[in-house]
Amino acid sequence: MDGTLEVQGEGSQLLALLVGAKRGEIIVDFCAGAGGKTLAVGAQMANKGRIYAFDIAEKRLANLKPRMTRAGLTNIHPERIGSEHDTRIARLAGKADRVLVDAPCSGLGTLRRNPDLKYRQSAETVAKLLEQQHSILDAASKLVKPQGCLVYATCSVLPEETNCKSNVSCPNIPNLNPSTAPNCCKT
């Protein structure tokens, strides 16, 4: 493939659209993985602005680099972080126009594709994921500048995993206004 096309699920495409990236903005994809949504956001920005693609897994981020090259995107900066508390994240505090958090979750919204998930999840697993989601969302919310936008998503059907306001209070975004698509959680 020459980078003209990227195969992507509908949910990922919609998330990239919800971010609503504009040319010249600073965008953070907090849990970027292999960067499918990062690439879609990059295409919206037409190489104008900066996209920081953070993830804890070097292997997933390594997959992003050749895909960026194929797509001709030079404004994406993949960076492996140790955790959501990595000191390298702090330099972006209050500077991001938009932050995308596609949080690690139970995945129970993907049962049609992964029916075995219902047998692999437990109350303890979900409790640990909720704790991790809270921590990630708290850290990511600190990056959003005033009047910025935070898009939070999971592929879960559990309300405790999908409700941005119940997951974290986001004290650094005092005017957080959770909403559902087509809007995002705006300040």
Residue numbers annotated as active site: 155
**Is the four-CA dihedral 148, 159, 131, 122 of positive or negative sign?**
negative
Q: How far is Cα 143 from Cα 146, in angstroms, rounded to an integer? A: 10
CB-based contacts of 139: which residues, under 8 Å, 6+ apart?
30, 84, 85, 89
β-strand partners of 153: 102
For residues 61 and 27, the answer to whether their CB atoms sit within 8 Å is: no
138 is in an annotated binding site: no
The residue with tokens 């809007």 is: 183
Secondary-structure percent of the chain, ordered helix, strand, coil, rounded to 5: 40, 20, 40
Q: Is 72 helix (H, G, I), strand (E, B) or coil?
A: coil
102 is in an annotated binding site: yes
Residues in the annotated binding site? 55, 102
Residues in the annotated binding site for S-adenosyl-L-methionine? 55, 102
